[in-house]
Amino acid sequence: MKYTIKLKALVALTVISLFTVLSSLTNNNMGLLGAANVTIPANQEFVLGEYQKSGYRARLINKSDLGFEVLVVDKITNERTQGFGLDGKGSATVHIRKNEKVLLKNTNDEDILVKVKLMTEVQGMRYQELGAYEKSEE
């Protein structure tokens, strides 16, 4: 009986801890640290580091056969500071300064899967309409 109560308490604590971790990964006001698989829907953009206050580095691994565009944009002027295409099954490391954010642009008619690896916690992630970056430049 005594061991059953301890086991139930341990299971409850584990479930609460797992829920806390999953909640922090899905809340866009929270940060991401480590690695996550990000599905970018067809004709959408994924914004990374929108609220980040320090520089960081992101390792991008394209798990899809389709390529996508990577843009690094100044948060204040909205000017592009870096950019390149990442082919299907390709990978790259991007260095982002504190005043920049990253846009992963899926211009394909199919969803893509990207593994994002971060060595520091990064704040601010969301999806947006494809072309929202260009519209905000006007």
User: Over the stretch 100-110, which tens digit does the pLDDT of each residue have?
Assistant: 999 999 999 99
Give a three-class secondary structure readout of 16-50. Answer: HHHHHHHHHHHCCCCEEEEEEEEEECCCEEEEECC
Between CA 106 and CA 65 the distance in angstroms is: 12
Higher pLDDT, 134 or 96: 96
Higher pLDDT, 80 or 137: 80
Q: Taking all residues of the chain, what is their mean pLDDT, rounded to a whole number?
A: 84
> What's residue 2's pLDDT?
53
Q: How much is the average pLDDT of 67-81?
A: 97
Residue 18 has pLDDT above 50, yes or no: no
Q: Look at residue 74 and tell me if it is in a domain.
A: yes
Band (133; pLDDT cuts 50, 70, 90): confident
* Structural domains of the chain, count: 1
CATH number at residue 100: 2.60.120.10
Q: Look at residue 129 and tell me if it is in a domain.
A: yes
> What's residue 1's pLDDT?
54
pTM of the model as a whole: 0.75
Its domain, for residue 49, covers 30-137
Higher pLDDT, 22 or 66: 66
Q: Look at residue 79 and tell me if it is in a domain.
A: yes
Q: Note whether 86 and 101 are within 8 A (CB).
A: no
Higher pLDDT, 137 or 36: 36
